Amino acid sequence: MTFDQIRTFLWVARLGGFRRAAHRLHLSQPAVSTRIANLEAELRVPLFERGAGALVLTKHGTLLLSYAEQMLFVEEEIRHRVANPAEAEGLFRVGASETIAQAWLPGFLKAFSEAYPRVNVDLNVDISLNLRAALLERRLDLVFLMGPISEFTVENVALPAFDLHWYRAASNPETDLGRIPVISYSSQTRPYRELMAELSRRVGPRVRVFSSASLSASLRMIASGIAVGPYPRALANDYLMRGQIVEFDPGIRPEPLEFTASYLAEPRSFLVSTSARIARDVAEDWDRSTPK
């Protein structure tokens, strides 16, 4: 029995298939199948029930999984306590909402690369709903999203919030929300739903709301006079400095955008938990130095 066999078994069990485990471990599918077959032969018990659907652990496989999780934790402990963190290798899968991507994400990636120069990063920018699903399905290791994620398996590290301010084009003084469209975040996000509820209550059926997953496109639409909308001042600052947009108060103040660095608490990973703390430190530094 080898540690590579145990690690391979662990990822097959986590991801529910040989193909997914092969992709995660950068191995061929036959290599993964061979490792599992050799492990089962040495232990003389089946570890998976193979059917038409996803693999299911046998009672022996379930027992082995608990030991495999502990072995991986010990490996992580050794790497963290004994080895040089800069020597860590592999692929680190990060997901971020566009708000974060346009704010302090570059600073995080720079700090992460300095701490782990031999780790490759796979970055995915998406809406929080999709990032949450990808984390829970173990397709991402760490996500920066509108949180927290209320799952007992998830660890959430609080990040600085973003206050929202209303903007209109400098060339278009119209601010009547019953006459000019309002543009907001994607319709699948919490800010959009909350804004729609408040606008429906205060403005009524006359309100028109556009939604966009692209913050840069939304701010361009505001600058062109097509719509007005509430966005973080830090992201609107370039347009403000160029005099293309101005701030106004329609009497509706959306709740601040709350973000977390979220990751699966088990199995424990020092790389992931340390990266979440790096993100928090970078985000707090950025928040202190950026206009609100």
Please classify residue 282 by burial: count the beta carbons closer than 10 Å to its beta carbon, then call 0-12 exposed, 13-18 middle and 19+ buried: buried
Angle subtended at Cα 23 by Cα 153 and Cα 263, rounded to the nearest 5 degrees: 20
Within 8 A by CB and 6+ apart from 10, the residues are 65, 68, 69, 72, 267
Check: CB of residue 137 under 8 Å from CB of residue 120.
no
Domains and their CATH numbers in the chain? 3-81 (1.10.10.10), 85-152+267-289 (3.40.190.10), 164-255 (3.40.190.10)
- How many other C-beta atoms can be found within 10 angstroms of the C-beta atom of residue 212? 20
The mean pLDDT of 40-63, rounded to a whole number, is 85
pLDDT at residue 50, rounded to an integer? 76
pLDDT at residue 152, rounded to an integer? 85
Average pLDDT, the chain: 90
Within 8 A by CB and 6+ apart from 232, the residues are 99, 103, 162, 163, 164, 165, 257
Nearest alpha carbon to residue 105 among 127, 129, 124? 124
Helix (DSSP H) and strand (DSSP E) numbers for the chain: 11, 12
Residue 2 has pLDDT above 90, yes or no: no
pLDDT at residue 86, rounded to an integer? 57
pLDDT at residue 1, rounded to an integer? 82
pLDDT at residue 84, rounded to an integer? 58
Handedness of CA 265, 15, 121, 119 (dihedral sign): positive
**CA–CA dist 192, 229 (Å, integer):** 11
Which single residue is written with the structure tokens 């030991």? 67
77 against 272, higher pLDDT = 272
Q: How confident is the model at residue 66 (pLDDT cuts 50, 70, 90)?
A: confident
CA atoms within 13 A on the CB side of 81: 6
pLDDT at residue 85, rounded to an integer? 60
Check: CB of residue 212 under 8 Å from CB of residue 183.
yes
pLDDT tens across 67-119, in order? 888 887 777 767 666 555 655 677 899 999 999 999 999 999 999 999 889 89
Q: Is the peptide bond before 267 cis (omega within 30 degrees of 0)?
A: yes
pLDDT tens across 214-261, in order? 999 999 999 999 999 999 998 999 999 999 999 999 999 899 999 999
pLDDT tens across 106-143, in order? 999 999 999 889 899 999 999 999 999 999 998 999 99
Q: What's the token pair of residue 268?
A: 């424990």
pLDDT at residue 52, rounded to an integer? 64
pLDDT at residue 160, rounded to an integer? 95
Assessment of whether the complete model's pTM goes beyond 0.85: no
**CA–CA dist 229, 99 (Å, integer):** 15
> Which 3 state secondary structure label does DSSP give 190?
helix
pLDDT at residue 181, rounded to an integer? 95
Residue 156 has pLDDT above 60, yes or no: yes
Please classify residue 1 by burial: count the beta carbons closer than 10 Å to its beta carbon, then call 0-12 exposed, 13-18 middle and 19+ buried: exposed
